[in-house]
Amino acid sequence: MGFLARRSTPPPAPATPGPPSPARASPAARIRWHHTDQVGWNRLPAAARDVLTLAGYTTGDALAAGTWAPATRRDPTGRYWLDTDAWWIDSTTLLTVRAREALTPGGTSRAGRPQLRRTGGGGRVKVTTHPLTGPAPTGQRWSRPAEQGHSGAAPPGVRVTDQVIDVLPRAVRAELATPTGQIAIRHYPPHGGYHDQVLAYRRLSPTELLAVAAVREATAYPDPDAAIDAADWHVTTYRPLVGPATHTELRM
């Protein structure tokens, strides 16, 4: 996902003070969803996930985990690689990972670019591990202020965004500011409606971290988009201290 957000300029202040206006909810933000076979942590190659688990890094459940978009790179020797960077946070560990898969040229496209395919061997996983210590994660429920006079899938003022944290409560967005990593996952429960997850983290400093895992769910009635806009968020926040890094390289 991209990191572009649209924000409108605030209106000018009135020349003379007037009576206070009733509180109004800010326009709802909706994520521009991209359908893909693999989402979140699962965008990391399966072979990389397997070696991380076998090495004891990801044997439990993550509080928050995700990937950045894969990138094709060429090294000084002329070899091509597909790099997938990822992050994993649980109660004791921050992992940052780069899974590097070898690519083999197989001709060129009409634009003159090499057509590359995975070779199926020679890959490796670079792992940076930081121990995390501090208070346990905390949970909080956030309700969105009710919209007055609007209904349906596209009420006036709805923003479509690629910056996934835009859908979170304002106070949570303010804490995350510009996240180091962020992803959103939409599930489609068998009973209908949506189940959304937003996972993000921010390195506040070399020794501090903020991780957020937020979930919400709504039924399909009367409209799934309007219902999920109004659904409560259940937000887990974790603010640990970050210890010194250790580096490891694993073979896929």
Closest Cα partner for 65 from 44, 36, 37, 35?
A: 44
Output the pLDDT for position 202: 97
30, containing H or E segment: strand 29-31
Enter the tokens of residue 117.
């395919």
Own/partner pairs, 152-155, CB within 8 angstroms, 24+ separation: 152/223, 152/226, 153/223, 153/225, 153/226, 154/225, 155/28, 155/226
Per-residue pLDDT of the chain (252 residues; tens, 9 = 90+): 333 232 333 333 434 444 444 444 566 888 888 777 678 899 999 999 999 999 999 999 999 999 998 999 988 998 889 999 999 999 999 999 999 998 988 777 777 777 888 877 779 999 999 999 999 999 999 987 655 444 444 455 688 888 899 999 999 999 999 999 999 999 999 989 999 999 999 999 999 999 999 999 999 888 899 899 999 999 999 999 999 999 999 998
Output the pLDDT for position 243: 97
Enter the tokens of residue 18.
């007037």
What lies within 8 Å, CB to CB, of 205 at 6+ separation is none
Evaluated on CA atoms 174, 179, 181, 186, the torsion sign reads positive
Give the separation between CA 68 and CA 55, rounded to whole angstroms: 22
Give the separation between CA 241 and CA 252, rounded to whole angstroms: 31
Contact 65, 88 (CB under 8 A): yes
Would you call 161 helix, strand, or coil by DSSP? strand
Would you call 163 helix, strand, or coil by DSSP? coil
pTM of the shown model:
0.80
Contact 97, 52 (CB under 8 A): yes
